[in-house]
Homo-oligomer: A and B are copies of this chain.
């Protein structure tokens, strides 16, 4: 494949850089009383509207038992409800309660504000370039996924 050494170095540099960016963003999801991982779970349930635990396990790459506990906690806090599945009685259908939806919205707002803050100081043109670049990366790497 003859991959240029410098390209690999740049990609790794980008990964370190973006790890920091995401780390900074994560820090500020806080003050909701829920951790970053819990927030990811709530967001994913919210986006899907309905799902089963195993989907969350696979999509978010979180250990089964850990997910079980997260769901138990969220359920206990009345953010989600579990309903028996008619199709597969090993599973429960999970969705947000109104309280959960409120938190979902709050998390979304906070996340949006963070992005706005992250972009402040950039021109429309720069934002457009950034956006295009992100779409490009996602498109290429979705094809790849060749990590395993």
Size of chain A's interface in residues, with CB distance under 8 A?
Answer: 56
- B143 and A8 within 8 A (CB): no
Decide: A127 near B18, CB < 8 A? Known: A118-B147, A144-B119, A147-B117.
Answer: no
* Residues in B whose Cβ lies below 8 Å from that of A33: none
Give how many copies assemble into the complex: 2
Expressed in whole angstroms, the Cα–Cα distance for A24 and B20 within the complex equals 16
Report B-chain residues with C-beta under 8 Å of the C-beta of A86. Answer: none
How far does the Cβ of A32 sit from chain B's closest Cβ, in whole Å?
A: 16
Known: A1-B120, A119-B144. 4 other contacts (CB 8 A): A28-B147, A121-B146, A129-B140, A132-B133
> What are the 10 A-B residue pairs with the smallest beta carbon separation, nearest first?
A133-B133, A14-B134, A133-B136, A120-B146, A24-B147, A130-B140, A8-B115, A133-B137, A7-B131, A11-B115
A-B contact pairs, 10 of them (CB 8 A): A11-B130, A13-B138, A14-B134, A14-B135, A15-B25, A17-B138, A18-B138, A122-B144, A126-B140, A130-B137
